[in-house]
Structure 1
Amino acid sequence: MPLLYSAPFTSEDLDILRSALDAWCAEKQIDIRSVEAQFATSTALDLFYQSGHNDHDKLLSALRGRKSL
């Protein structure tokens, strides 16, 4: 069953997600198209919508704090 979110993505949401992921990938020195980045993207989506990390700084901090990444 696909994961459904309560609200659609806005362009601002996508900008926040992409900028946080770009920063995280740059810090980790990994390609945004890598498997690691794909896993981080999935994690970022969960953090953004389910955990309320819905701005760049909160999301990037939460990604940094994830031991599994």
Structure 2
Amino acid sequence: MTMAGSSVFSPEDVTVLRGALDKWCLEKRIDIKSAEAEFAATAAIGLFQSGYNTSEKLLAAMREHRGI
């Protein structure tokens, strides 16, 4: 199944995204399986696609993101 606007991510990209999301959830004390974490993951993907493409940059951007 293909989703509109979906992107293909390399294994390295997924590692960056998951690492930042895991750290963000740990800091916020949020369960990785929660709806809030799912929303944060969506925001992280958008940030990643905007150029925050290292774990450090992505985590910093997530910390400053007002929507999550």
Q: Fold-level match, TM-score > 0.5?
A: yes
1:2 aligned residue: 4
Q: How many residues of Structure 1 are paired with residues of Structure 2 in the alignment? A: 66
Q: Could you state the TM-score of these two structures normalised by the residue count of structure 2? A: 0.91
Q: Which runs of 4+ in 1 moved over 2 A?
A: none
Offset, 1:2 = 1.7
CA distance in structure 1 between the partners assigned to 2:33 and 2:44 by the alignment: 15
RMSD (Å), alpha carbons = 1.1
CA distance in structure 2 between the partners assigned to 1:66 and 1:39 by the alignment: 12
1:26 aligned residue: 26
Q: SS of the counterpart of 2:22?
A: helix
Query: What stretches of structure 1 of length at least 5 have no aligned partner?
Result: none
Deviation digits for residues 5-31 of structure 1, max 9, x if unmatched?
Answer: 3xx211100000000000000000000
Structure 1 vs Structure 2: percent identity of aligned residues? 48
Offset, 1:60 = 0.2
2:44 aligned residue: 44
1:14 aligned residue: 14
1:66 aligns with 2:68: no
CA distance in structure 2 between the partners assigned to 1:15 and 1:67 by the alignment: 24
CA distance in structure 1 between the partners assigned to 2:6 and 2:23 by the alignment: 26
